[in-house]
Amino acid sequence: ETGVTQSPTHLIKTRGQQVTLRCSSQSGHNTVSWYQQALGQGPQFIFQYYREEENGRGNFPPRFSGLQFPNYSSELNVNALELDDSALYLCASSLNLAVSEETQYFGPGTRLLVL
Amino acid sequence: GNSVTQMEGPVTLSEEAFLTINCTYTATGYPSLFWYVQYPGEGLQLLLKATKADDKGSNKGFEATYRKETTSFHLEKGSVQVSDSAVYFCALSAGNNDMRFGAGTRLTVKP
């Protein structure tokens, strides 16, 4: 069984640029959530996708957007990058919607540095 | 809103010492509670969870009991090993798709 994978592992961008991060869910999982983890902090929920539809969003501006594809892989797009966007971005997949009941499986993350 | 407060680190212990990492929560409704562990260079892994009051989650010698009366979910282990060195996150989910994490507690176990 393949775990959750993310690419790239590291990325450096400059302020104002756009970035796309990718996530492949664990086999058979139809739900993916994205989190931002600033240095020394716990992960913060960005949004969740279930069967290609956004299913909830945290307190992040619209320049954070996402996609989920028919094979349940996912992208996180961030436009107009700001210095504060520098963080570890984690995706997590689960078998079904209910985060409170289903175990989420996390990928290793993409570390983004904005200069 | 829902939130989790956990003990600030870092925590440094000798091998075989007893571990407690405190976690308290604020939530509406009846949240599920989790402990995740993050080893260096890896993603978060679920360590244990409890979905209702008085439930005890356990895994790999770690335990935590869901205490509604004190809104707590403290993590304990009777005898830590060097391999337990990691960052530990307490988290809650209150029936929606938004999991709230604490800031994390870094544990270092010395031989």
Which tokens hold the place of A16?
A: 């104002």
For chain A, where are the E strands, in sequence order? 5-7, 10-13, 19-24, 31-37, 44-50, 53-57, 64-68, 74-78, 87-94, 105-106, 110-114
Contact at CB, B93 and A100, closer than 8 angstroms? yes
Q: How wide is the angle at C-alpha B95 spanned by C-alphas B19 and A104, nearest 5°?
A: 60
Cβ-Cβ contacts under 8 Å, A109 against chain B = 43
Tell me the pLDDT tens digit for each residue of B30-69.
Answer: 889 999 999 987 889 999 999 999 999 999 999 999 999 9
Q: What span, in angstroms and rounded, lies between the C-alpha atoms of A16 and A18? A: 7
pLDDT band at A72 (very low <50, low <70, confident <90, very high): confident
pLDDT at A97: 63
Distance from CA of B12 to the nearest CA of A (A): 17
Cβ-Cβ contacts under 8 Å, B50 against chain A = none
pLDDT at B96: 64
Q: Does B99 touch chain A (CB under 8 A)?
A: yes
pLDDT at A101: 61
pLDDT at A105: 87
Tell me the pLDDT tens digit for each residue of A24-66.
Answer: 998 888 889 999 999 888 999 999 998 889 988 999 999 999 9
pLDDT at B22: 97
Tell me the pLDDT tens digit for each residue of B71-94.
Answer: 999 999 999 999 999 999 999 987
Please give the share of chain A, as a percent, with pLDDT higher than 70: 93
pLDDT at A100 over 60: no
Amino acid, res. B87: V
Contact at CB, A97 and B89, closer than 8 angstroms? no
Amino acid, res. A56: G
pLDDT band at A96 (very low <50, low <70, confident <90, very high): confident
Q: What is the mean pLDDT of residues A68-87?
A: 95
Q: CB neighbours (10 Å) of residue A25? A: 27
Taking the alpha carbons at both ends of chain A, their separation in whole angstroms is: 37
pLDDT band at A92 (very low <50, low <70, confident <90, very high): very high
Contact at CB, A42 and B91, closer than 8 angstroms? yes
Nearest-CB residue to B97 (from A40, A44, A99): A99
pLDDT at B23: 97
- With helix as H, strand as E and coil as C, how does chain B read? CCEEEECCCCEEEECCCCEEECEEEECCCCCEEEEEEECCCCCEEEEEEECCCCCEEEECCEEEECECCCCECCEEECCCCHHHCEEEEEEEECCCCCEEECCCEEEEEEC
pLDDT at B9 over 70: yes
pLDDT at B41: 78
